Amino acid sequence: MRSIEQVIARVEQRQEELIHLTKTLIQFETPSPPARNTKEAQEFIANFLRTLDFAIDQWDVYPNDPNVVGLLKGTDAKLHNSLIINGHVDVAEIDEQEQWATSPFQPTIQDGHLIGRGAADMKGGLAASLFAIQLLKEANLELAGDLIFQSVIGEEVGEAGTLACTQRGYTADFAVVVDTSDLHIQGQGGVITGWVTIKSPTTHHDATRRSMIHAGGGLHGASAIEKMMKMIAGLQDLERHWAVMKSYPGFPAGSSTINPAVIEGGRHPAFIADECRLWITVHFYPDETHEQVAEEVEMHLRKVAESDSWLRDNPPIFEWGGTSMIEDKGEIFPSLEIDPEAPGVQLLSRCHESQLNIPAIVDYSPTVTDGGWLGDAGIQTVIYGPGDLQNAHAVNEKVRIEQLVDFTKVMIRFIYEWCNTPKNGLSDTPTLQNIKYQ
C-alpha cells in the first residue's frame, strides 16, 4: 500500500496515460446536437469503472444516449462521507464552416495543450477524475465512504442527465461537478427558457387593416406581431429594472438578463398575423429560483397587456422550461449557491492550496452547468474542473496539460480525504439499495 503522497507523485510519472485517456474520450464523437450518439463512449466509461470494482447502473435517458453511474461502496459507508463526481459526456456541436487545424475528434498536442472538441468542456475533467480513481485503486488505498461516479448525457442541450440521476435516487454528502472552471471552486446562477405567445381569436385579410387602425373602423382586431413588439418593450423595461434592483456578490451589475432570442409569427402576406411566438432566455442570480423569475416575467407582461385595449382581451400565453432544446425547445438550469464554510468546500479548498501552493478561488461561474440539479436535490455541490470558458465550445478547443495534471492531483487528495472523513453524526442520506447494478 502506497501513501497518498506517493500516489499523487505518480500522476506526473504517468502523465502520458492521463493524456491517452483524455484523447480516447475525445475520439468518441458525441456532439449535441445532434445527440443520440453517446452509447459507445458511455460503454467505455462503464467498462473502465468495472475494472476499478464499481457496480454499474446504466440506462437510456434517450435512445442511444444512456447515463452511466458507478458505485464504489465504502468500507464503513454509514459513518463516513459519501461523494458524487459528476460530468457530462456530450460536447458542443461542430459547425461545418469551423476552421479547425485538425479534425475536432482527432486530438493533438501543441504548445503544452491538448486540442480537440471536449478537451475543456469537459472530457478533460471526466478523464482526469477517472485517472485519479484508478491511481487510488492501484495503490490499494481504501475509501470508507461511498464514491459515486456519474457520467451523464444531454448537458449541452438542457436534457439534464443529472436530473435523471437524482430522480433515480442518487445522493451523497457532497458533489463535485468536474466541468470547466479553470480550477476555481464555483457556484452558478440559473437559466430558464420560455415562450411568450400572442394569439388572436380571429383571422383577418390584410385588406381589413385600415378598419383596425383608424378611428371608427369598427373592427376589434390587431396584428399579433405588432402586439408582440409591446411585449418585447416590456421585457426590456423589466430587464433594466432588474439591473437596478437586483444584485448578487461576485456578479457584475446587470447579470440578470432577458434575451428575446427567437421570434416566429404570421402565416402569409395576405393575412393579418394572428399568432406570434417569442422564445426568451432568462438568466437569474444564485439566490433565485426559475419558478420565481418566471412568475416575475409573467406578472410584468400581464400588466403591460392591461394597458393595451386589445391585449387586455387577448393576454399573452406563457410556456416555461422544457426537458430538451432538441425535443421540446426548452431547458432549465437551476441556480447553485455555494457556502464557503461548508465542510466539502473547506476541504476542497485546503486540498487545492496544499497541492498547488496557491490560494483556492471560490466564486461563481458566468455560465451554467448541471450542478444546479444536484443542489436542487439538496446535495452540497460545487463546480471544479480543468479548462476555461474561453476554450469551451471554441474552434480548436484546448486544455493545458499542466492543468489536467494539477486537477488530477487535487482530486486524488480530495477523494481520499473526504471519503475517509467521519460524518457529523449519523447520516440521514437514503441508501441506494433499490437500484439495480450490472
Which entry of 146, 155, 274, 397 is annotated as an active-site residue?
Answer: 155
CA distances from residue 295 to 209, 285, 292, 319 in whole angstroms, order as listed: 34, 15, 5, 11
pLDDT surpassing 50 at residue 343: yes
Q: Do both 353 and 327 map to the same domain? A: no
124: pLDDT strictly greater than 60: yes
Pair 92, 213 in one domain: no
- In a 3-state reduction of DSSP, which class is residue 352? helix
Report whether pLDDT(432) > 90.
no
Contact between 92 and 392 (Cβ < 8 Å): yes
Q: Give me the sheet containing 174-177, strands edge to edge.
A: 55-62, 65-72, 147-152, 83-88, 174-177, 381-383, 185-188, 362-365
Residue 437 within any structural domain of the chain:
no
Q: Which residue has the cell 476554450?
A: 391
Q: Does 436 map to a domain?
A: no
Residues 6+ apart with CB under 8 A from 270: 205, 206
- This prediction has a pTM of 0.94
Please give the pLDDT value at position 429.
47
Chain-centre distance for alpha carbon 98: 24
For residues 32 and 163, state if they share a domain: yes
User: Residue 416 corresponds to which amino acid?
Assistant: Y
Cα of 7 vs its chain's centroid, Å: 31
pLDDT of 424 reads 79
Asked if residue 97 and residue 229 are part of one domain, the reply reads no
Closest CA relative to residue 326, chosen from 63, 35, 89: 35
| Grid coordinates given for 416 | 481520499
Give residue-wise pLDDT tens across range 71-106: 999 999 999 999 999 999 999 999 988 999 989 999
Task: Supply the Cα-derived Rg of the chain in whole angstroms.
Answer: 25
What is the rounded average pLDDT of the residues 280-307? 98
**Active-site residue 96, yes or no?**
no
Q: Which domain holds residue 299?
A: 190-332
In a domain, 433, yes or no: no
Question: Do 31 and 148 reside in the same domain of the chain?
Answer: yes
Contact between 196 and 281 (Cβ < 8 Å)? no
Are residues 270 and 393 located together in one domain of the fold?
no
The predicted model gives 331-340 an average pLDDT of 97
Verify whether residue 5 is a known catalytic residue: no
Mean pLDDT of the chain: 95
| Catalytically annotated residue among 90, 159, 239, 296 | 90
18-60 residue pLDDT tens: 999 999 999 999 999 999 999 999 999 999 999 999 999 999 9
150 lies in the same domain as 194: no
Helix extents (H) in 101-223: 124-138, 161-167, 209-213
Q: How confident is the model at residue 260 (pLDDT cuts 50, 70, 90)?
A: very high
**Percent of the chain at pLDDT above 90?**
93
Statement to judge: residues 229 and 327 lie in one domain: yes
Domains of the chain: total: 2
Amino acid making up residue 189: G
Instruction: Examine the domain organization and report whether 197 and 256 are in the same domain.
Output: yes
- pLDDT reading at 426 higher than 90: no
Indicate if 119 and 17 belong to the same structural domain: yes
What distances in angstroms separate CA 255 from CA 31, 184, 195, 297, one per listed residue? 28, 20, 21, 16
pLDDT for 338 beyond 50: yes
Identify whether the C-beta of residue 413 lies closer than 8 Å to the C-beta of residue 133. no
